[in-house]
Amino acid sequence: MDKFAIFKNSRLAFWLACVAALAIVFVSEYSYRKAVQSLDELGTLGQARVRIQHLERGLLDAETGQRGYLLTGRKEYLEQYEKSVSATKEVLQRLDQHFVDAPEAKKLLGELHKLTGSKFSELALTTRLYDEGKAGAATEMLLSGIGREQMIDTLAVSDELLQHESARVAEGRKNVYNTLLISRIGLASLCALGMLAILKYLRQSSALLQQQLEQQRLVQSERDRLEIEVSRRTATLTELTRHLQTAREDERKRLARDLHDELGALLTSAKLDVARIKPRLIGAEPAALALLTHLVETLNRCVALKRSIIEGLQPSSLSHLGLVATLDILAREFAEQSGVEVHCELAPVKLESTAELVIYRVVQETITNVAKYAHAHNVWITLGARDGYVYLSVRDDGIGFDTETQPSSAHGLTGMRFRVEAEGGSLAIESTLGKGTSIQVALPESTNAAPQE
């Protein structure tokens, strides 16, 4: 699957989830407001029903108070009557405010106003006749049944108005139920849509994750392959380096042997010939004797040069005198030739012959670089063993160099590093401009070789 397509689908699923969430919020808020409105209307309708019931009770209380006053003449009944009439009129005013936008209910309320007014007029007339001392007329009017018919008509209209409000309450409840039903359906649908969007998003995320894991697996596989290839090539280069160094040392041995055998034989023969000629020139001219003496000196210098070249190619002292003595001789000769003061701290170590030769070549290469580039006044050479390793340190107080840049002697340093690593060791170079250079070598100590003095 294309990564861009996965990303695009993931974005689409994300936006679908956002739209679903917004829709859920909208439906929830709309349903909430609609339900609150319906409940408020139901509350208002409930108050209207209660007022209608209060109206009916007020009429009955007013009639009861008036009848009690007419029968007993006690003022407390009259007070109850007047209080009920006042409360009933107040209820009618509130009902007028409630039904201001309900034409059908307003019509019923108008009839209720007329009937209530007629009832209150009848009650007031009867009470006034009683108060004027016309008890007979008041009683006759009370027994005529006019008030009873008015009360029946008033209660009938009140019941009709109450039924109208009950119908409105039922309609309001129906609206609340419908709102809740719409909210449930809407929320369920939107939740299902949201779940689908989330599932789509998770599916795309899972596909992307699987692709990433596959890419990581491929990268890791390629990395492992490259590491194996690098290890194989490193081993090949190490083996090649070992072979080249062995071939180089073998060639040096061959050259040293040829120089020792062939050139040594020629120089020895020449010296013997000179020794045979010398007695025959006794009494000859002084110039001829001087030339012969110069020839002997030249031959001696050639023999010394031959010996020096042979020692440089293949130090015989390494096999005869040991590593410590050979390094001491090398350091002493370097000090005599260069004028640099060399400080040696050499301890016997246990190394194979090939590793000893590596140590010797590292010191030889290092002091050669010191003579060429370092402009040093002092060189410190330290050799010792610790924790199963042989450590060599060659340090100078020369001008140093920047290890981040490639110095002119980099090939020699690289050759030293490969020599050391071919023997299973490590080489570290530390240098600071103006503070000299230090070369540290660590080689595994041999368990079979005896310490070389």
Confidence bin at 4 (pLDDT 50/70/90): very low
pLDDT in tens, 409-424: 556 777 788 888 888 8
- Residue 101 included in any domain: yes
Regarding whether 203 and 77 lie in a shared domain, the answer is: yes
Find all residues with CB under 8 Å of 138, minimum gap 6, and list them. 70, 126, 127, 129, 130
CB atoms within 10 A of CB 83: 14
Q: Does a structural domain hold residue 59?
A: yes
Predicted confidence (pLDDT) at residue 379 exceeds the cutoff of 90: yes
Last residue of a domain, one of 188, 210, 232: 210
Give me the pLDDT at residue 3, please: 47
Q: Which residues pair with 438 in a beta bridge?
A: 395, 430
Any domain includes 372: yes
Assess whether 335 and 186 both reside in one domain.
Answer: no
Residue 120 has pLDDT above 90, yes or no: no
User: Residues 149-158: what's their mean pLDDT?
Assistant: 72
Q: Is residue 224 one of the residues assigned to a domain?
A: no
Quick one: 21 and 166 in the same domain?
yes
pLDDT (0 to 100) of residue 406:
59
- Asked whether residue 205 falls in the same domain as residue 323, the answer is no
Q: How confident is the model at residue 323 (pLDDT cuts 50, 70, 90)?
A: confident
Would you say residue 450 has pLDDT above 60?
Answer: no
**72, 189: one domain:** yes
**CA separation for the pair 275, 266 (Å, rounded):** 14
Instruction: Determine, yes or no, domain membership for 154.
Output: yes
Q: How confident is the model at residue 408 (pLDDT cuts 50, 70, 90)?
A: low
Q: Is residue 294 part of a domain?
A: no
Considering the domain architecture, whether residues 186 and 330 belong to the same structural domain is answered as: no
CATH of the domain at 397: 3.30.565.10
| Domain count of the fold of the chain | 2
Instruction: Identify the domain boundary among 190, 210, 230.
Output: 210
Each residue's pLDDT tens digit, 83-117: 877 877 787 777 777 766 677 777 776 777 777 77
Q: Among residues 210, 230, 256, which one ends one of the domains?
A: 210
Number of neighbouring beta carbons within 10 Å of residue 199 = 11
pLDDT of residue 238: 72
Give the helix/strand (H/E) hosting 115.
helix 103-131
453 lies in a domain?
no
Dist CA 191 CA 169 (whole Å)? 32
Buried-exposed string 253-267: b where 16+ CB fall within 10 A, e elsewhere: eeebeebbeebbeeb
Sheet with 436-444, strands from edge to edge, namely: 341-346, 378-386, 389-396, 436-444, 426-432
What average pLDDT does the segment 134-160 reach?
Answer: 70
Q: Is the pLDDT of residue 5 over 70?
A: no
Mean pLDDT of 220-242: 84
Residue 306 neighbours by CB under 8 Å, 6+ apart:
259, 260, 263, 264, 267
Residue 381's pLDDT band (cuts 50, 70, 90): very high
Q: How high is the mean pLDDT of the chain?
A: 77
Q: How confident is the model at residue 394 (pLDDT cuts 50, 70, 90)?
A: very high
Residue 40 in 3-state DSSP?
helix
In a domain, 303, yes or no: no
**Mean pLDDT (whole number) for 263-289:** 72
Same domain, 203 and 328: no
191 lies in the same domain as 329: no
* Ranges 37-46, 72-81, 149-158, 365-374, most confident: 365-374
What is the extent of the structural domain holding 385? Answer: 318-444
pLDDT value, residue 378? 93
pLDDT at 87: 79
- In this structure, what CATH number is given to the domain that contains residue 182? 1.20.1440.210
pLDDT at 256: 65
Q: Among residues of the chain, what percentage have pLDDT more than 90?
A: 12
